[in-house]
Each structure stands twice: as C-alpha cells, then as structure tokens.
Amino acid sequence: MDKQDNALPVVFSGEGRDYFGIWVVNLLLTVLTLGIYSAWAKVRRMHFFYRHTSLAGAAFDYHGEPLSILKGRTLAFLMFMAYQISAETQPMVAAIVLLVLMAVMPWLLHRSLCFRMHNSSYRGLRFVFRGSVRQAYVVFLGLPLLILVSLGLAFPLWVHALKVYQYGSSAFGRSGFHCALSRAEIYRIYLVAGMVAIGVTVAITLLLGLGVAETLSVEEGAETRALAMAGGVALLAGFAMMLCVAPFVAAGVQNAVWNGLSLGPHRFRSAVSGRRLAFITLTNLLGVILTLGLYRPFAELRLMKYRLQSISMLPDGDLDDFVALIEADVAAIGEESAEMFDVDVGL
Amino acid sequence: MDLSDPPVTALYFDGRSSRARPVMLSVADGKLVTCGEDVERRDALAVLRLSEPLGHAPRLVTFPDGAHCEVSDDAAFRRMLARSGQRDAPVVRWQFSRTAVAVSLAVLVACLVLAHEWLLPRLARQVAERVPAELATRVSDETLAMLDANVFGPSQLPVARQQALSARLATLKQADMPTVRPQLLFRQGRPMGANALALPSGLIVVTDELVALARNDEEILGVLAHEMGHVSQRHGLRLAIESSAVGLFAAWYIGDVSALLAGVPAALSQARYSRGFEREADDFAARLLVLNGIPVGRLADILERMDGPPEPLEGGSRTGSEHSRSPFAYFATHPLTAERIHRLRAAP
C-alpha cells in the first residue's frame, strides 16, 4: 500500500498540434533532400518525445547528433545497395555479402543500443548500455537461427533474451538496471496469443463459410467459392490479429518487462491494458483513414502517450530519498569515443 | 535595457550529480547569468547549447562543461532571448507557424502526386523491362493455371478453326521492334464472356464467346493486335508493379498489416493506370492494323458488341487483395469504352 502511495508516474505532456508541425516539416525536408534530412528529422522527433516525458518533475533529454545518425543510415544504405547490386549481377557474391551482413549486424545493433542509451539523459545524468558484444551475437544471431530451426517455437525465448539484454544491461549513471523477467511469463503471453489467433481464424472461417455458401449462387464453380473464401479469411484474420492479438501481446510484454525491472532498490510498475491498446489501435486506424493520412502524427503521439503514462516508478522510501540517492550518484562520464553511430532498428 | 526583463527561474544540474538547484537566469552583455545557491556563473550565449523550443517541453540550456539548466517557463525565456537578439533556426520557426506548416503540407501532397503520376510509371516501366523472360513465363503459367481451374472451361472451337486463326496471327507484319511473338490459346470464357487476355509471357487467351461474337476474322485480329500491344508494352507487369508499389506504400503508411485497407488505394490507382494502358494498346493495334491493311474500325466494331474491352491480365507478385484478382473486378475498373471507340474511329 505504501508503495502505491508514493508511486511516481511518468508524465507525457506532448500535444498533437505541436507534433503535427514538426512531423510535416520533417517529412517535407526529408523528401526534398532525398532522405538526407531524415537524420535531423529523427533528432527533432526524439527531442519532442524525450523532453515531453518527465518523471518526478524533471524531463528526459536526448543528445544524439544528426551526423552520427546520418553515418549509421549511410552505412545501412550502402550495405543494402551492396546486397541489391550483387544480387542482380552475381548471386555468389550476394550470398557472401549476406553472410558478412549477418556477421556484422549484431555488432552494429550493439553499437546502436550504446548510442541510444548514451544519448539519453535524466537530470543531467546519462544512461549507459553495458551489454557485451558477445551477448549481442547470442541475441541477434544465435537465437534468431534457433527460431528458424525450431520452426518458431523459440520465438518467445528470443523476445525474453532481447528484453533482458536491452533493459537489464542498461544503467543510469552508476546504478545498473536489473531485469527479472521470467521466461514462463513470456511463453504464457505468446501461448495465449497463439490460441486466440487460432480460435479467431477458425471462427472467421466458419462464419464466412456459412455466409459465402448462402450468397454465392450455384452457377459459379466450387473452386471460385473456395478461392474467394480463402482470400476473405486471410484478410479478416489479418485484421483480427491486428486488433485481438497484437495489442494484447504488446501490453503483456511491456507489463512483464517493466514490472520485473528495478534500479537499485527502486522498482517500476507498468499497467498497460490490452483492451485499451486495441481500442487506440482501432480508433487510430479509423482516424488515419478518415483524414486521408493526416491523423498519423496524432495517432503516433496518442499511442506513445498511453504506453508511457502507464509506467510509474516505485521508489524505495519517498521521493526525497529517491532524489537524494540519485543525487549522490556521481556520474562516471568518461566520454565514449566518437565511434558511435545509430543504426535504426525497431527494437 | 536588458535589466528590464524579470529573471527567469530554472533548475540547475551540474552534470556530475543529479541534484537539482533552483537558479535565476538573466541575460547581460551577451552573457547568460546563472544565479542561485552555490551557483554563480556567466557564460557567453554563443557557447551554450540552447535546446529548440518544443511546444510544452521545458527548454534546456547546456553549458560547455556538461552542466545544464531546465527552464519550464518557455514563454518568458523566449522573450528574454529574443530581446538579446537570439533567433530560432528557420526550421524551428516553420514547425510552429501555421502558414509554414500549411505550405509544407501542400508541397508534400504535390510531391506525392508527382511521384504517383510521373515517377512511379517510369520506374515501373524500367523494372518491367528488366524482368527476366523466365520469370514472366512462370508468372504467366501460374496465372493461366489459376484461371483454368477457376474461370475458364476447355474450348469447344474446332481445332481447324483454332489453327487457322493462329496462322493468320503469325503472318501479321510488325513494325515495332522488338517484335512480339504471340501464342494463341482458346478457352471457354464462362463468367468472362467474350473477352481476350494478354499474359506477360506473350500468351494471348481468346474466349470462344469472342470468336462467336466476331462478324469476321479482321475483328478478331483487331482484338489480338490490341492484346499484342499489351504484351509489347509489358502492361501486365507494369500494372502489377505499380499497384503493388501503391499497396505497399499504403500498408506501410496506414500501418495496416492485413493489407485489407491498403488494397483500396492500390485498386483505385490500378483503375487509373489501366486507362492509359488501354490507350497505348489501342495505338499499337492501330499501327499494326494499318500496316497489314486492315481497317482500324474493325476493332471499334467488335468493342461495341463486347461485354467488356480486352484487358491485360496482371501477373507477378503483388500484395493487393485477392478481390482485385477476380475477373469480376475488371468490369468495375474498365475505362470508358465509348471514349476508346471514338479514338479508334478517329485514327487515320
């Protein structure tokens, strides 16, 4: 009970109106510069989200430099082009390029995580990513191969390892985060999701089967009917997954990760509701369609706001103690070398 | 003058600990004066990193030694800076100006229209020309198998008649390089009725109903010439590439994984493109017919009596909905036949 009372909620104060302007100008300049401006656009976007997010009265800050991001994007673009060009002319070379890409990708993703954490700060203290490169190879190369071999059964295992690596290897100043995420919990989330997915698909198939049988006249061939039905089932099932499965998985994973996360003696709580997330997904989709796309920045903001504001910190003791503790934590900022760059991946 | 501004309150962090110290900020002689308990510093404005204003977010002032200030009252801070001659970067001013945002939006829409109307057709043509013949053949064979299983029935036309038409087609003189070597196939059209289809590999399917509808062989040759136009211009592949590009873009933009909604813009743009393709194929047919001494009007004659004009059949991988693949969808997307007939009649 005591912990409930002094919970520190994450507050997000960004407004769609302001973000819309940033989004439009970002998009225009990105198009006019054939993508080069996208690095600057990303910095502006990150600033908007970080600086509107606050905890215990102080905001977060983003320090990424556009040129580092541009470097990372250029690298990714060159690698992609190398693969594309070789794939068209020399399939053997393309295979080698692909192997090289697979071999360096974990290292790049590790640099990217370092970049992101290092460039995030709160109350003037930077975050740090302490994960090892070796672990990056396990998470970004070993386990994905295991997913292939296990025909997808190892997918929750990978999600677990990724989250533990991403969150559990981070630190704020000198205090490290600890991520006590159980594999069983992640497996439970995906097991339920899998069963719902199968149930929904079966239900749609049955309902559509009845409907199609009644509406289609006999003169059209049975094959045509089967084909039309298969298409219909695939479309509706895809739509149902988007509303009945994906939001619940996202909510479950976010809650599991944050409820198991601790920073020193302080804990976190996340209370995302899958139903609410599904509602936001549906209304966002409708908004984007009805406004011919203009609602998109508002939709993005709305989703982000909900997910952020579902998180709160449970300090051990009261707010002053928490502040005192982190105030005592003197940052060991041995500025990392300028070798860092950002590689965009949807982590 | 500067002194007339009231100082702005802020929180000061020294960058070594996360302790917050309340301070007052003011500007004097081009320097930012930071004053508070244990803090007293003057820094030239030029060496400071002033975070850009962002709606309701606090402004951050970062000092060269890593210390920073968090300013909640952005409006007061902005007034203070403005008086000292500081100006936001142009991009920042645009982001928060209604006019600039509206203009940006208009330019953005113009870019999108340009990409769709000008860039995409050209890119699709380039890509279609580079599609290897084997791929075109595979796609065509698969499409034909799908149609045979679901739409067509076996042709009831006597073999002698089929061979005669094929022979007549083979003798057509062609001016355009590279020449098209069409291969004729006969099928019962069933729901497609009197129609003809061109597949990317050069297969042309003619329905029994079309042969029956034709008053003479020249009308059939007119339709075949039109289909050869589709093959020669690679319309099937181009259509597939264009509509899948639009579909992918829409799916990415809407964020709709089901491709249910993304299929709508794809289908709309497909209808628009196919109109241009019909025109190109008609022009090709007109040239071919003139070269072979057949009146162009023959094609117009049979068009008037057909259920729907001949249509290139798309092939290739696409992500659009299964519905647009159904033959019934074609009739909804047909360009105005009357306009085409008029153009053909007007042709020399």
Contact partners, residue A272, CB within 8 Å, separation at least 6? A250, A251, A254, A255, A306, A307, A310
Q: Taking a contact as any Cβ pair under 8 Å apart, which residues of chain A between 203 and 242 contact chain B? A: 220-221, 223-224, 227-228, 230-232, 234-239, 241-242
Interaxial angle between packed helices B159-170 and B217-232, expressed in degrees from 0 to 180 and rounded to the nearest 10: 60
Contacts of B70 in chain A (CB under 8 A): 58-59
Q: How far apart are CA B274 and CA B281, in angstroms?
A: 10
The distance of Cα B124 from the centroid of its chain, to the nearest Å, equals: 10
pLDDT recorded at residue A224: 59
Q: How far apart are CA A231 and CA B220, in angstroms?
A: 35
Residue of A11, A25, A120 to mutate, interface with B, max B Cβ within 10 Å: A25
Backbone angles phi, psi at A128, to 5 degrees: -135, 145
Residue A125 touches chain B, beta carbons under 8 Å: yes
Contact (CB<8Å) B91/A230: no
In chain B the domains, ranked by start, together with CATH numbers, are 8-96 (2.30.29), 124-346 (no CATH)
pLDDT recorded at residue A214: 57
Contacts of A18 in chain B (CB under 8 A): 54-56, 95-96
Around Cβ B176, how many Cβ atoms within 10 Å? 14
* Percentage with pLDDT > 90 across chain B: 4
- The yes/no answer to whether this complex scores an ipTM above 0.90 is no
Rounded mean pLDDT, B95-107? 88
Contacts of B260 in chain A (CB under 8 A): 235-236, 238-239
**CB-closest option in A28, A59, A238 to B259:** A238
pLDDT recorded at residue B193: 80
Return per-residue pLDDT of chain A as tens, 347 residues: 444 567 889 999 988 888 999 999 999 999 999 889 988 999 999 999 999 999 888 889 888 888 888 888 888 888 888 888 888 778 888 888 888 888 888 888 888 888 888 888 888 778 888 889 999 999 999 999 999 999 889 999 999 999 999 999 998 877 889 999 999 999 999 999 999 988 988 888 887 777 655 555 444 455 556 666 676 777 777 778 878 888 999 999 999 999 999 988 889 999 999 999 999 988 998 898 888 889 999 999 999 999 999 999 988 876 666 665 555 554 443 334 334 455 554 34
To the nearest whole Å, the CA of A100 is away from the closest chain B CA by: 27
Contacts of A331 in chain B (CB under 8 A): 15-17
**CB-closest option in A31, A220, A232 to B111:** A31
Model confidence band, residue B266 (pLDDT cutoffs 50, 70, 90): low
End-to-end CA distance of chain B: 83
To the nearest whole Å, the CA of A183 is away from the closest chain B CA by: 27
**CB-closest option in A25, A124, A237 to B13:** A124
Contact (CB<8Å) B96/A21: yes
Rounded mean pLDDT, B128-154? 83
**CB-closest option in B54, B91, B321 to A25:** B91
Contacts of B261 in chain A (CB under 8 A): 285, 289
Most confident of A244-258, A328-342, B64-78, B128-142: A244-258
The distance of Cα B290 from the centroid of its chain, to the nearest Å, equals: 35
Contact (CB<8Å) A51/B150: no
Contacts of A58 in chain B (CB under 8 A): 11, 20, 70
Contact (CB<8Å) A51/B97: no
Residue B257 has pLDDT above 60, yes or no: no
**CB-closest option in A25, A231, A328 to B95:** A25
Rounded mean pLDDT, B52-71? 83
pTM for this structure? 0.77
DSSP letters along A156-219, please? HHHHHHHHHHHHHTEEETTEEEEE---HHHHHHHHHHHHHHHHHHHHHHHHHHHHHHHHHS-TT
Name the closest residue on chain B to residue A63, using Cα atoms: B51
Residue A288 touches chain B, beta carbons under 8 Å: yes
Rounded mean pLDDT, B135-153? 83
Contact (CB<8Å) B70/A223: no
**Residues paired with B174 in a beta bridge:** none
List, as own/partner pairs, every contact residues B144-147 make where C-beta atoms lie below 8 angstroms and the sequence separation is at least 24, other chains included. Answer: B144/B185, B144/B199, B144/B203, B144/B205, B147/B187, B147/B197, B147/B205, B147/B313, B147/B327
- Torsion angle, alpha carbons of A240, A242, A245, A247, to 10: -140
Contacts of A47 in chain B (CB under 8 A): 51-52, 54, 57
Calculate the average pLDDT of chain B.
78
- Torsion angle, alpha carbons of B195, B198, B199, B201, to 10: 150
Contacts of B13 in chain A (CB under 8 A): 123-124
**CB-closest option in B15, B56, B191 to A15:** B56
Most confident of A24-38, B36-50, B222-236, B267-281: A24-38
Sign of CA pseudo-dihedral A335, A340, A341, A345: negative
pLDDT recorded at residue A344: 52
What's at B167, amino acid-wise?
A: A
pLDDT recorded at residue B1: 45
Q: What is the tens place of the pLDDT at every residue in B157-203? A: 899 999 998 888 888 887 765 566 788 889 988 777 888 888 888 88
Contact (CB<8Å) A124/B54: no
DSSP letters along A220-256, please? S-HHHHHHHHHHHHHHHHHHHIIIIIHHHHHHHHHHH
pLDDT recorded at residue B318: 30
Q: How far apart are CA A327 and CA A331, in angstroms?
A: 10
To the nearest whole Å, the CA of B277 is away from the closest chain A CA by: 27
pLDDT recorded at residue B268: 60
To the nearest whole Å, the CA of A242 is away from the closest chain B CA by: 7
Residue A35 touches chain B, beta carbons under 8 Å: no
Q: How far apart are CA B275 and CA B280, in angstroms?
A: 9
Q: How far apart are CA A181 and CA A161, in angstroms?
A: 9
Q: How far apart are CA B48 and CA B38, in angstroms?
A: 20
Contact (CB<8Å) A124/B11: no
Q: What is the tens place of the pLDDT at every residue in A136-193? A: 999 999 999 999 999 889 999 999 999 999 999 998 877 889 999 999 999 999 999 9
Contact (CB<8Å) A124/B67: yes
Residue of B95, B111, B324 to mutate, interface with A, max A Cβ within 10 Å: B95
Contact (CB<8Å) B257/A238: yes
Around B102, how many Cα atoms within 13 Å sit in the side-chain half-sphere? 3
- Cα-based angle B195, B200, B202 (whole degrees, multiple of 5): 75
Residue in the structure block whose two tokens are 């399939």: A91
Residue A290 touches chain B, beta carbons under 8 Å: no
Contact (CB<8Å) B261/A234: no
Around Cβ A96, how many Cβ atoms within 10 Å? 11
Contact (CB<8Å) A52/B51: no
Q: Encoding tokens for residue A175?
A: 């205090």
**CB-closest option in B58, B70, B101 to A25:** B101
Contacts of B322 in chain A (CB under 8 A): 227-228, 230-232, 234-235
To the nearest whole Å, the CA of B286 is away from the closest chain A CA by: 36
Most confident of A138-142, B22-26, B265-269: A138-142
Residue A127 touches chain B, beta carbons under 8 Å: no
